[in-house]
Amino acid sequence: VVPAARGRPHVLRILREILYGQGGKGVTRPAVALEALRQAVPRRALVVLLSDMAGEDFADTLKPVARKHDVIAVSLHDPAESELPDVGLVCLEDRETGASLVVDTSDRGLRQSLANASTRWQAKLDKQFTTAGCEHLAVATNGDFMPALHALLRRRARHPR
């Protein structure tokens, strides 16, 4: 949690925290971050939740935070996780849990199942954020997210919530 402030030094601090902050290894826990925010920030604030949104369910923690604060949820997703190339047998490792699994990427059914699961996951996130009253921006890790973020912020500037 970075306390609110104004000016260029504060923007640089936020960027430093994002780029060089200590990302923990383990299961993603947006609910823990949201609960810490709820307790630490008493006044209404702009909250940017940047995560892959995987791991435990956080919808119940998000709703009270979104009622009090202006929340923009930026969900990161790696297209390689939903669009496996046909390269045969591959050993995949979950970086959060350390679990590994050998899969046959030449299996068209497996690739289609993964793509379908990814689509359902994105739809679930969209619904959670809409229900909670949050803005949601889905960002692919293989591209530049700045144009999409810039467009969102410009639209919000023209039409404040």
**Residue 108: pLDDT band with limits 50, 70, 90:** very high
Mean pLDDT for all residues in the chain: 84
CA distance 57 to 29: 8
CB 77 within 8 A of CB 122: yes
Report, as an integer, the average pLDDT of 27-54.
Answer: 84
**Residue 132: pLDDT band with limits 50, 70, 90:** very high
CA distance 12 to 41: 20
- Using only C-alpha atoms, the chain has a radius of gyration, in whole angstroms, of 18
128 beta partners: none
**What pLDDT, in 10s, does the model give residues 110-119?**
999 989 998 9
102 pLDDT exceeds 60? yes
**What pLDDT, in 10s, does the model give residues 65-101?**
999 999 999 888 888 878 888 899 999 887 777 899 9
**Residue 24: pLDDT band with limits 50, 70, 90:** low
